[in-house]
A and B are shown apart, each in its own frame.
Chain A
Amino acid sequence: MATHARGLTEATHRPDDPTTTGALAVRVRNLHRSFNKAGGVLNGLDLDIAPGEFVALIGRSGSGKSTLLRALAGLDRDVAGHGQITVPASVSVVFQDSRLLPWKRVLDNVVFGLKAKGAAERGRKALAEVGLAGRERAWPYELSGGEQQRASLARSLVREPQLLLADEPFGALDALTRIRMHVLLRTLCEVHRPAVLLVTHDVDEAIVLADRVIMLYDGVVRTDVRVDLETRSPGDPRFAELRSFLLAELGVNEESVPGQRVAS
């Protein structure tokens, strides 16, 4: 097992790790994607995600985070490229905007497209799980931004996905709502155990939520670290260490960033 110089374990190539052996939820090999002839966004990317594993994907703007997520979601019909992608049969996507259909009531949005018997009942249960019991008949515009995003989370969970793809799902929320959503997502994932790929620009969010944080650079996975913290509190010195490490990898010099919290 390779050990990082700072005591952070590298997650790649660990055949002895029980979470990465056996069937993978996501297997990407040599993935190339480019929007123009000048250069690729993804240049031979490899990625494995184990079933039930929560992976956060960070990287600078334009580093290809969303391109990778859209490739896994099968939403990149118009992008040139090649490579091998294996994903589970049931994949669900949470977008940055809640994407609730404005003309459907909340419950109808949650069970949208579900044909199975008892879908409405499952939808109600999912809404209760995200704390929106009683809002089944509301129109989306009547919900706050955070509530809309919770409804969209319920819409994903009710489908019991084996892979949950989330593209900056909390990016448009205020800081307090975001913290509550973190707790909610973490709890839901522990109950439902989907593999998760969360695209985020927020390093703290990545550390708080993920089992593993990966970073894209030059169209490949450059950094791949496992988060094994006892407490996921920013006050924990190891949290701060991981945070500094990831920020440095992103090319951010903490001392030069005004107002950055640095745990002492």
Chain B
Amino acid sequence: MTTDLTTGTIATDLTTAGRTDTAARGGAAATSDTDQRVVRRRLGPGHRVRLAFWAGPIALLAIWVIGSKTGFISEQILSAPWTVVESAKTQWTDHDLLGDILSSLKRAVIGLTLGTVAGAVLALLSGLSRLGESLIDGPIQIKRSIPTLALIPLFIAWFGIGEQMKIITIALITMIPIYIHTHNGLRSIEGKYAELAETIGIGRVEFIRHVVLPGAFPGFLLGMRFAVTSSLLGLVVVEQYNATNGVGHMMTLAENYGQTDVIVVGLVIYGAFGFLADGAVRLTERKVLAWRRTLEG
């Protein structure tokens, strides 16, 4: 390596390390138009890849298909995908699978909506006033430490065994993550923004609308991701009680008759619900939170 001390630079060294012949002939002049900087290695996850969201689930499906085909996964352990498709067809034609799905969805959506509204409103009341906090936060923490499923016998006594009990149970399960994360998001808003709002002289309603709600929204959406899956958890349980329809009901019957393939149909439906609902929340997150510059990208 010929490094001339007067013109000799680290840059010359960089080139000679890779291409000794050019550097030896051209010296420092040859390096003037080549890109000599160190391009930093990316440490974050990089650009978003289209449809990458589906890769994991599809791989999972592929393992299932291949495993069943080769006999690696025996029918006793897990029904093969084609068996499951067959029983789904049978359920659809002979047992109103669509009706089951729709009634489950209806319970989940109504319960989730009520729970979301209640959780968000309580988080606002408790987040914005010390009085609200002292009245609301404690009971929420108490409720949180009692498993909702343990409350079901009590709810049956209070609300009967019909739809009301089912929806209230789901609402209560989903309310908790919404409350916790919205409250946390709200309290994490930097105090300087409240100070700015004070100097601008806006009222409380506008402060909530323009500062509190958008500031707490990332927290709310995180709560939403937990709530969506909690609502499915609630479904499985409440549909064991005196239900005449619903995916959980279908699975309970299948359990009684030992139809593991039908149970797998139910599992696939729950999995698909959860996966799609979470995807929807995350899509909303990306669209609505475009003001953030995070690794989410």
Does A associate with B in a complex? yes
User: Smallest distance from the beta carbon of A215 to chain B beta carbons, Å?
Assistant: 25
Known: A75-B195, A113-B206. A102 touches B291 (CB 8 A): yes
User: Smallest distance from the beta carbon of A89 to chain B beta carbons, Å?
Assistant: 10
Contact between B211 and A101 (Cβ–Cβ < 8 Å)?
Answer: yes
Between B202, B210, B289, B293, the greatest number of chain A beta carbons within 10 A of the residue's beta carbon is seen for: B210
**How many residues of chain B are within 8 Å of chain A by beta carbon?**
21
Distance between Cα atoms of A159 and B201 in the complex (Å): 11
User: Smallest distance from the beta carbon of A110 to chain B beta carbons, Å?
Assistant: 11
Q: Which of A115-156 contact B (CB under 8 A)?
A: 139-141
Chain B interface helix/strand/loop/mixed = helix
User: Smallest distance from the beta carbon of B233 to chain A beta carbons, Å?
Assistant: 32
Contact between B291 and A103 (Cβ–Cβ < 8 Å)?
Answer: yes
Which of B193, B198, B214, B293 touches A75 (beta carbons < 8 Å)? B198
B14 in contact (CB, < 8 A): no
Which of B198, B199, B210, B289 touches A104 (beta carbons < 8 Å)? B210
Chain A interface helix/strand/loop/mixed = loop
**How many residues of chain A are within 8 Å of chain B by beta carbon?**
19
User: Smallest distance from the beta carbon of A194 to chain B beta carbons, Å?
Assistant: 14
Distance between Cα atoms of A101 and B190 in the complex (Å): 10
Which of B192, B197, B214, B215 touches A113 (beta carbons < 8 Å)? B197
Please encode chain B, from 279 to 293, with 1 for each CB lying within 8 Å of some chain A CB and 0 for all others: 000000000011111
User: Smallest distance from the beta carbon of A105 to chain B beta carbons, Å?
Assistant: 8
Which residue of B has the minimal Cβ distance to A96? B192
Distance between Cα atoms of A91 and B197 in the complex (Å): 13
Contact between A141 and B192 (Cβ–Cβ < 8 Å)?
Answer: no
Contact between A101 and B210 (Cβ–Cβ < 8 Å)?
Answer: yes
B102 in contact (CB, < 8 A): no
Contact between B214 and A103 (Cβ–Cβ < 8 Å)?
Answer: yes
Q: Which residues of B contact A93 (CB under 8 A)?
A: 196, 199
A92 in contact (CB, < 8 A): yes
Contact between B193 and A99 (Cβ–Cβ < 8 Å)?
Answer: yes
Other contacts beyond A113-B210, A139-B290: 14, CB < 8 A? A74-B199, A75-B199, A92-B199, A99-B192, A99-B196, A101-B210, A102-B291, A103-B289, A103-B291, A112-B210, A113-B202, A140-B291, A141-B293, A159-B200
Q: Which chain B residues have a beta carbon within 8 Å of chain A's beta carbons?
A: 192-193, 195-202, 206, 210-211, 214-215, 217, 289-293
Q: Which chain A residues have a beta carbon within 8 Å of chain B's beta carbons?
A: 73-75, 91-93, 95, 97, 99, 101-104, 112-113, 139-141, 159
Q: List 22 A-B contacts (CB under 8 A).
A: A74-B198, A75-B198, A75-B199, A95-B192, A95-B196, A99-B193, A99-B196, A101-B211, A101-B214, A102-B291, A103-B289, A104-B210, A104-B214, A104-B291, A112-B210, A113-B200, A113-B206, A113-B210, A140-B291, A141-B291, A141-B292, A159-B200
